[in-house]
A and B are shown apart, each in its own frame.
Chain A
Amino acid sequence: MIDILLIALAMTLLYMSIANRLYTYLRILVLQGFILFGATYFTLTNLSTINLLLIMLETIVFKAIAVPWFINYVIKRNRITRVAEPYLSNFASLIIVTSIIIVTIILSSSIKDENLDKTFFVVALSTLFTGLYLIVTRKKIITHVIGYIVIENGVFVLSLAVGNEMPMLVNLGIMLDIFASVLILGVFFNKIGDVLNDPDVNLLRNLKD
Chain B
Amino acid sequence: MIGIFLAATFIISGCLVFNRNKVVNYLLVALYAALLLGLGVYEYQHLNTIQLGFFKADSLGVLLLLVLCIVSVPVLYHSYRYMEFHNPDETPRSRGLYFGAILLLMSACGAAYLSNHIAVTWIFIEITTLSASILIYHHRNIRALEGAWKYVFICAISITFIYVGILFLSLSLKQAGIDDMSFDSLIRNYNNLNPFWLKLAFLFIFTGFTAKLGLVPMYTAGIDAKDKAPAPVGALMASILMNVGFIGIYRIYSIVAHTPLHGWANNIIIVAAILSVFVAAVYMTRIKNIKRMFAYSGIEHMGLVMLGLAAGGIGVYAAILHILLHTLVKPSLFLQYNQIYRIYQSKSIYDVGNYFKYNRAGAILILFGFISATAMPPSGMFVSEFLIFQSLFESHHILLLVALLVLLTLIIWGFGVNVFKLLFTPPVGFDDTNVPRISPWESFSQYALLALSVYIAYNPPAKLVSMIQEAVKLIQ
Contacts and interface: CB of A to CB of B under 8 A. Distances in A.
Specify whether A and B are partners. Answer: yes
A102 B148 CA distance: 36
Contacts, number: 107
Given A176-B163, A209-B287, A116 B171 contact: yes
Contacts of A195: 141-142, 145
A162 B174 contact: yes
B170 A166 contact: yes
6 contacts: A113-B196, A115-B174, A148-B160, A151-B160, A166-B179, A207-B227
A164 to B, nearest CB: 10
A162 B167 contact: yes
A168 B194 contact: no
B430 to A, nearest CB: 23
A115 B179 CA distance: 14
A203 B289 contact: no
Nearest to B130: A183
A144 B145 contact: no
Of residues B119, B143, B153, which shows the largest number of chain A Cβ atoms within 10 Å of its Cβ?
B153
B156 interface: yes
B228 interface: yes
Contact of A159 (B148, B167, B175): B167
Nearest to B296: A209
Interface in B20-40: none
Given A168-B119, A209-B286, A113 B163 contact: no
B174 A209 contact: no
A204 B146 CA distance: 5
Contacts of A183: 129-130, 133, 152, 156
A161 B175 CA distance: 14
A195 B140 CA distance: 9
A204 B174 contact: no
A191 B146 CA distance: 10
B145 A155 contact: no
Interface residues of B, number: 44
A187 B157 contact: no
Nearest to A172: B119
A179 interface: yes
Interface residues of A, number: 38
B178 to A, nearest CB: 10
A175 B124 CA distance: 12
Contacts of A180: 126, 156, 159-160
Given A113-B196, A180-B126, 7 more contacts: A155-B167, A162-B171, A179-B126, A179-B130, A180-B156, A204-B142, A209-B283
B119 to A, nearest CB: 6
B150 interface: yes
Contacts of A169: 119, 166-167, 170
Contacts of B227: 207
> Dominant SS at the B interface?
helix
A202 B37 CA distance: 45
Nearest to A162: B170
The 8 tightest CB contacts between A and B, nearest first, are A204-B146, A180-B156, A207-B224, A162-B170, A115-B174, A195-B142, A158-B167, A207-B146
Contacts of A166: 170, 179
Interface string A25-40: 0000000000000000
A57 interface: no
A45 interface: no
Contact of B160 (A113, A155, A191, A209): A155
Contact of A196 (B142, B157, B164, B283): B142
B251 interface: no
B137 A161 contact: no
A173 to B, nearest CB: 6
Nearest to B142: A195
B356 interface: no
A128 interface: yes
Interface in B350-398: none
B174 A158 contact: no
B146 to A, nearest CB: 4
Contacts of B146: 204-207
Interface in B212-269: 224, 227-228
Contacts of A92: none
Contacts of A155: 160, 163-164, 167
Contact of B179 (A128, A165, A176, A192): A165
B74 interface: no
A58 interface: no
A83 interface: no
A209 B119 contact: no
B420 interface: no
Nearest to B289: A209
B413 interface: no
Interface in A85-131: 111, 113, 115-116, 128
A187 B156 contact: no
Given A151-B157, A166-B179, A183-B130, A172 B137 contact: no
B164 A192 contact: no
A192 B149 contact: yes
A57 to B, nearest CB: 19
A191 B197 contact: no
B153 A144 contact: yes
A187 B123 CA distance: 20
